[in-house]
Amino acid sequence: MTDTVSTLVVLIDADDVKHVFAGWPDHICLAACLDRDGDCSMIVFRRDERSTIPSRLLHLLRIDLDEVCFVPQVPGFPTRHFRYSDERRLMALVASDPAILDEAIDYAVNYTYALEEGLDPDVVLGLKPAPEDKVVMPTLRASASRSAEKAAPTSEISPLLPDFLRRSAEHARRPRFASVRKSKMAMLLSQA
């Protein structure tokens, strides 16, 4: 890698990962992100997301366009020669983390669920924020003697209500999934 390139991203196709994990889901690929400091992040994605994965990785890894190169070649990004021996070592690294298999299965199931339910998979998987839903809480009616204009529900939510009553049930129960794997060292450093 040149001095400006700090991250090498190897995009591994689902068929290649199946050689390591027999139960690997169809159409789920893996991005192994190796940085200069020795950290490795493994990020799962669907084969049909391959065109959008470079921009997602730049955002998730918080790196600039000129700090990354891809193997195999991705249009608009530099690439590097990746030897067979390097590929074997990388696949051994992938095999050393069996939790990535569970993550790939979860990603496949949740992505499929979102498609079947007509939902945006990026929102369901937590890749982009959900659109803001306007929550309207009805007010309690006062006695029948009050005028109709005083008893009409307002769109304002009382600031005295606890937070859990302000959020809609749908928004509070919406699952959030991350497709980024951090090394144990990176998780320990973020907690410090």
Given this model, what pLDDT does residue 179 score?
54
Tokens in use for 153?
A: 């529900």
- 175-185 average pLDDT score: 54
> Residue 173 above 60 pLDDT?
no
- 82-96 average pLDDT score: 91
Q: Is the dihedral of CA 12, 18, 24, 27 positive or negative?
A: positive
Listing from the earlier edge strand, what are the strands of the sheet with 40-46?
40-46, 28-35, 7-12, 68-71
Average pLDDT, the chain: 77
Per-residue pLDDT band for 148 (boundaries 50, 70, 90) equals: very low
Given this model, what pLDDT does residue 119 score?
85
**3-class secondary structure, 85:** helix
Are 57 and 31 contacting, i.e. CB atoms less than 8 angstroms apart? Answer: yes
Dist. CA 136–CA 13, nearest whole Å: 46
- 82-97 average pLDDT score: 91
- 121-128 average pLDDT score: 80
Specify the higher pLDDT residue, 165 or 144: 165
pLDDT in tens, 154-164: 445 555 545 55
- pTM, two decimals, is 0.64
> C-alpha angle 180/84/1, rounded to 5°?
60
pLDDT in tens, 12-67: 999 999 999 989 999 999 999 998 888 889 999 999 889 899 999 998 888 888 88
